[in-house]
Structure 1
Amino acid sequence: MNPIIAILKEHNVSDASINQLFQTLTENPLMAMNAITQLGIPAEKLQQLMALVMQNPGLIKEAVLELGLDFSKVEAAKAQLQK
């Protein structure tokens, strides 16, 4: 299991909420940051999660693919932000 998804499940985040979070990420990465803070994960675990993603950004792609979402939308949103 992807470590991002594992941490979310460890904090009793439902599968539906995990899917919604990653769906938001694929559509609007900035909104995903807001959505993750609403999940009730303790600040120290949230920092651990963010550090994990910063050290290995490929984990996001792995999680998106594991959930069956379209990673090309993440790439398109990232390109839009860089303009």
Structure 2
Amino acid sequence: MNPIIAMLKENNISDQQISEIFEVLTQNPLAAMATISQLGLPQEKLQALMGQVMQNPALIKEAVEELGLDFAKVEAAKEQLSK
């Protein structure tokens, strides 16, 4: 299991919430970070999660694929951010 998904599940985040987070992430990464910060995760878990995402962006792709979402949307969102 993807470590990002595993960490969210360890903190009692539902599968539906996890899918919604990654759905938002594929459309607007900045909004997804705001959504993640509102989940009520302990600060140290939140920092660890953000650290994993920043150090290994491939984890996002793996999580999106594991959840059966469209990774092309993630790529399009990244392009929008870089403009």
* TM-score, normalisation: structure 2: 0.96
Cα distance in 2 between the residues matched to 1:54 and 1:28: 16
Structure 1 stretches of 4+ with a deviation exceeding 2 A read none
Q: Which residue of 2 aligns with 1:28?
A: 28
Moved more, 44-53 or 10-19: 44-53
Deviation of the 1:49 alpha carbon: 0.9
Moved more, 46-55 or 68-77: 46-55
Gaps of 5+ in 1: none
Q: Which residue of 2 aligns with 1:68?
A: 68
Cα deviations by residue, 1:28-77 (Å, 9 ceiling, x for unpaired): 11110110011111111010111112221100000000000001101101
Deviation of the 1:13 alpha carbon: 0.1
Q: Which residue of 1 aligns with 2:18?
A: 18
Deviation of the 1:81 alpha carbon: 1.3
1:33 is matched by which residue type in structure 2? Answer: M
| RMSD after superposition | 0.7
Deviation of the 1:16 alpha carbon: 0.4
% identical equivalent positions? 70
Q: Which residue of 2 aligns with 1:57?
A: 57
1:77 is matched by which residue type in structure 2? Answer: A
Paired residues, number: 83
